[in-house]
A = this chain, B = another copy of it.
Amino acid sequence: MTNEKLLVSVALNAWNTNIARAEKTFSGLTQEQLQKEVAPGKNRLIYVWGHLAAVHDGMLPLLDFGPRLHPELDASFLTNPDKTTPNLPTAEEVRKAWNNVNRKLSQGFANLQPEQWLHKHTAVSDEDFAKEPWRNRFAILLSRTTHVAYHLGQAALVPK
């Protein structure tokens, strides 16, 4: 295995580890359990989970893996705070979106050659990328991995 490939595989392990932790945290909970807040007055677990699904869905166009699968998540889980929008998607709908999105991301990751991780992500212009070559797909993978961890730290505060 080349050094490049090994560096990428370590980062994919970190992603997969955190996705597996999120699965373990959220996917076995009932609709009722998902109504618990991570701390008094803070986001509910359903919001955190839907937020992660929405952010991961946004990775698809950003990594040039295709269009978003679930843009309908944004209004409930991304652009508005928790408890401000009516008719939140159900646990089952969030679960389905979460699974769809992460499956599609895994397929995209598997198709990338190591050097393709260093291509620019789609939200940076050619001109800016020439000056800032670290604004690449690999940076998106790492920042979204820490983003999952950030919210897992919060979800861990909810009594079992």
Contacts and interface: CB of A to CB of B under 8 A. Distances in A.
Interface of A: 1, 3-4, 6-11, 13-14, 18, 38-40, 42, 114-115, 117-118, 133-134, 136, 138-139, 142-143, 145-154, 156-157
B157 A6 contact: no
Determine chain A's interface SS by DSSP, over half rule.
helix
Nearest to A157: B39
A4 B149 CA distance: 25
Nearest to A137: B10
Contacts of A11: 7, 11, 142
Given A10-B142, A142-B142, 17 more contacts: A4-B7, A7-B8, A7-B11, A7-B117, A9-B134, A10-B134, A11-B11, A14-B139, A38-B39, A142-B145, A149-B149, A150-B152, A151-B153, A153-B154, A154-B154, A154-B157, A157-B157
Contacts of A153: 149-154
Copies in the complex: 2
A86 to B, nearest CB: 25
A6 B154 contact: no
Given A9-B134, A10-B138, A150-B153, A3 B118 contact: yes
A38 B157 contact: yes
A18 B139 contact: no
Contacts of A146: 14, 18, 145-146, 148-149
A140 to B, nearest CB: 10
